[in-house]
Structure formats: C-alpha cells, structure tokens
Amino acid sequence: MDAAAFVDKWRKSLRTERSASQEHFLDLCELLHHPKPGAVDPKGLSFTTERRVKKEGGKHGFADAWKKGFFGWEYKKKGADLNGAYNQLLQYSGDLGNPPLLIVSDMDRIEIRTRFTDYSTTNYVITLDTFATPGNLEKLRCLFYEPERLRPEKTIEKITEEAAKKLAELAPTMRARLTDSTKVAHFLDRLIFCMFAEDVGLLPNHVFSQFLKKPNRDPRFVNRDIVQLFEAMANGGDFYGESIPHFNENLFDNTPPLDLTGTEFPVLIEASAFDWSEMDPSIFGTLFERVMDPAQRSQLGAHYTGFRDISTLVEPVVMAPLRREWAELLEKIASLVPDVIVTRKGESLFRAADEAQIEEAQKLVDAFLDRLRAIRVLDPACGSGNFLYVTLRLLKDLEKEVLIECRHRGLKEFELKVGPNQLLGIEINPYAFDLAQMTVWIGFIQWQKDNGFPVEHEPILQLDFCRFLGFSGGRPPC
C-alpha cells in the first residue's frame, strides 16, 4: 500500500471506530514498512493493539495501540472530540510506561503530541488532505522508528527563560516612569497570568491576544481594554463578547493597572507569542529580582533554583514518608483486592470474591486519602513560592497514583482534592506574597492540564494560602 491508496481507502470509509481502528493502524504499519504487532510480538508485551490499561471506572479497558517506549494511541469515531480523547489518554499514560508520543486520531485526522520529559508539548496534525506530503510521512515514520527525532529543540527551562527575558524588557522603561517598583511587578504578574490563562484555555478564544494584536490601535484604547479585562477576571463578566470566568479579586484586585506606552506594546505582543501554558513558574522569582532591584545585573536564569533541584529537598522531607506509608498499604490492599482484568465487553475476569475484603480495602484507601489531604506544608520564608509549588505537584502525583490503583482494582472512583489550600507560607515582602500565590496556582493548573483533568471550580484562583507579615502598605494579612 502506498500513501495515495491509503488516502483513497480511508476517505471513502464510513465505518465505525470499533470496526475500523485496528485495520487503520495495520494499514499504517504496511504503508511504513513496519512489521505488524502479531508478527513481531505475539504476546503483546511491547507492541500491540488493544493494550490493557487502567482507565476510569474500568469502563474501557484497552488503549487501541501501543509500542513500548514509542507511543500510546487512541482512536475515536469521525468528528469526535480528539482533545477529550487526549485528556483521557493522559490519565492512563503512566500505565503505558509514559511513552514520549501520544496519538489521538479518527479515520480522517491524526494528532501527534510529544511528551518528552522537561520539553514542551508539540502537536503535529496530519489530515487526509496533507497525509501524503513528505514531511508528514516522515513524522509517521518517526512514530514507529525514531521518536527522538520529534523531540522539540528547546527545553521548557530554555523557553521559559526566553519568555521571561522578553517580558523583563518592559521593566526598565516602566521603572523610569514610576517610582513604585512593587506596582510594576504586580502589574507584570497580572500580564503573565493572562497569557498563561489564555494558553491553557481558561480565557476563551484567545481574547487577550485579540485586543492586544489589533493593528494601528491607539495605546489609550489598549490600556482601557486591559482595565476592563482585569475587572472581568476579578469577578467574572463579559469582555469582547466572551464570557470571562471568575478568577479572583486578589490577583486582579482594584489596584489600577499601569498604562503602557506605544513603545512598550510591541514588547508585550512579542512576549505573548510564547506558549505560556508550560512555562516553569520557578523562574519568575529571578525575573522579578530585576524588576524590583534596578541594580540587579545578573544574567536571568543563571542562579534560579529549578524543579529538579527543589525536588531533591522535597522528596526526603515530605514525600518519602508518604510513599513508604502508601507502599505498605498497597501490599495489604493487593492481598485483599487482586487486579481486575476487564474484557472488551466490560466484564471482570477475576476480582476479590469476598465483599468484606473489598470493603476493608476501600477503608484503607479512604484513610490514606484523608491523611494525604490533611497534610499541611509550611515554608516560613516562602519567597516566590518555589518550594511550595514543587511540593504541591509531587503530592498530586501521589494522589493520582492512588486513583490509578483504585481504577485498576475496581474500588471507588474519587475526586482529586489535594490543592493549594494545603500550603502555608510566611513572607514579609508584599510582592513575594503575590508572586508565591501565582506560582503555586500556575503549577496547580498546569498539573491538572498535564494529567488530563479539567479546572472546573470558580473562582479559579481560590483560597489564599500565604501568611503575610510586616507590611503596612494598606493590604491586611490574609
């Protein structure tokens, strides 16, 4: 089969996902001269269709295709929500060995998303109309033979550093016009969060970029629009014909936004062109050292403490005791409730026969979840919130691990509840107080997005978690 024949066949197809997905995948193998799963791996240990996974509620028990260390693949019917399919794939990618590529497709469209550790996600879209182009055929070959060739060029750390440097270009001219550098920093905080919220889809239809990038606009009107957007985000409301969610009055309080000049707008537009959805929040503290301290001439990013460095402290102090506790409980749970194997018809092949054992295992899980959600972590000099941000992500990783085991063993589903309300910080600097909250909330929302869970609560930025001491500038302690 060649590319033209593949396109012709599948353009004509009106078959359902179930009847067509496996054949579609095998046709790709043939087209790309790759051995089919049954020929090279009869037991399905490293390359197979219908790979068993731990899915939500046991409702679906298989990924449609999988090659160990290469990809996980989920098919949907034509016209289905592939973003929803991707979020589903994210939730059980750990059971596939966290492959570097996740693919969702119907018979007309293939979307390849990269998931390399420490690198941003890139989405390659291949439709039947573009299928036969040399570039797209090469991407498909990479799926099966050389996934590393699809690795993005820049790390998340590098992209964050470049974006932060660009935004920091606003600081010198704004400081020259304004005497209060704290206000400058607070305003830039808000802009960062707007760009982040837009890129994760919390601000609908790229509404921030819409008004920012309109050509030949008078700066007065852009500044007016920024004021109106901040007001809508503070309490929820309408802006540019879009319904804006309620974020929170704290970050978007009644402090008047600062006016930007005609020379500063192009800098903001260039900064907004970056994808802020995957930025590393731990670099923001270094960025704003330069905003707060005009004498600071250090190279941005040269000395900031990143996720990996902070986790070397968080792991032994916070996580190791919890992981030991969970490992011991899991041994007991496994003895009470064996793995559940789910067939394509949704039938369980075996499970604990004794309902009393199931109830006992459920009590063990519930007790551990209560313990995990009762954890409070205090950073007595929280600065820009990096220690708290890393701790929260690791706690949520453990909570998800518990959820996966419950799905795998047929125990009750539960709502993920570990969140920023479990973090406490003490800080004497008013700006660091604001920055710490933003860092933690960005990290929390990123975790939800990266693991396929929606952010559905309002206000989106909920409880203040810091304790702010020693400031007499008008803001009361939280």
Tell me, yes or no, whether 205 lies in a domain: yes
**pLDDT(134) > 90:** yes
- Domain shared by 324 and 440, yes or no: yes
Looking up tokens 């301290």 gives 293
**pLDDT(133) > 90:** yes
Q: What is the mean pLDDT of residues 151-166?
A: 87
**pLDDT(473) > 80:** no
**How far is Cα of residue 329 from the mean position of the Cα atoms in its chain?**
29
The pLDDT assigned to 35 comes to 95
- Domain shared by 34 and 96, yes or no: yes
- Domain shared by 89 and 135, yes or no: yes
Mean pLDDT of the chain: 84
- Domain shared by 164 and 279, yes or no: yes
Tell me, yes or no, whether 23 lies in a domain: yes
Tell me, yes or no, whether 298 lies in a domain: no
- Domain shared by 452 and 315, yes or no: yes
Residue ending a domain, choose from 106, 131, 150: 150
**pLDDT(167) > 90:** no
The pLDDT assigned to 324 comes to 96
- Domain shared by 133 and 30, yes or no: yes
Query: Tell me: the pLDDT tens digits for 340-355?
Result: 554 444 444 445 557 8
The pLDDT assigned to 89 comes to 87
The pLDDT assigned to 203 comes to 94
Tell me, yes or no, whether 302 lies in a domain: no
Lowest mean pLDDT among 15-19, 59-63, 139-143: 59-63
Tell me, yes or no, whether 301 lies in a domain: no
Calculate what percentage of the chain has a pLDDT beyond 70.
87
Q: What stretch of H or E contains 366?
A: helix 355-374
Which DSSP string do the residues of 185-220 spell out, in sequence order?
HHHHHHHHHHHHHHHTTSSGGGHHHHHHT-TT--HH
The pLDDT assigned to 94 comes to 82
Q: What is the mean pLDDT of residues 165-180?
A: 82
And the tokens for 421? Answer: 């309300």
Q: What is the mean pLDDT of residues 374-393?
A: 90
The pLDDT assigned to 36 comes to 94
Tell me, yes or no, whether 174 lies in a domain: yes
- Domain shared by 323 and 446, yes or no: yes
The pLDDT assigned to 258 comes to 85
Q: Compute the distance between CA of residue 100 and CA of residue 429 in angstroms, rounded to an integer.
A: 41
Tell me, yes or no, whether 81 lies in a domain: yes
Tell me, yes or no, whether 475 lies in a domain: no
Which residues span the domain enclosing 273? 156-292
Which residue would you say has higher pLDDT here, 67 or 179? 67
- Domain shared by 164 and 245, yes or no: yes
- Domain shared by 97 and 213, yes or no: no
Which DSSP string do the residues of 388-427 spell out, in sequence order?
HHHHHHHHHHHHHHHHHHHHHTT---------GGGEEEEE
- Domain shared by 457 and 312, yes or no: yes
**pLDDT(299) > 50:** no
Q: What is the pTM of this model?
A: 0.82
The pLDDT assigned to 287 comes to 66
- Domain shared by 13 and 136, yes or no: yes
Q: Which CATH number goes with the domain that contains 76? A: 3.90.1570
Q: Compute the distance between CA of residue 93 and CA of residue 89 in angstroms, rounded to an integer.
A: 6
Instruction: Please state the domain count of the chain.
Output: 3
Residue ending a domain, choose from 249, 267, 292: 292
- Domain shared by 280 and 320, yes or no: no
Residue ending a domain, choose from 127, 150, 173: 150
The pLDDT assigned to 328 comes to 95
Q: What are the residues facing 342 on neighbouring strands?
A: 348
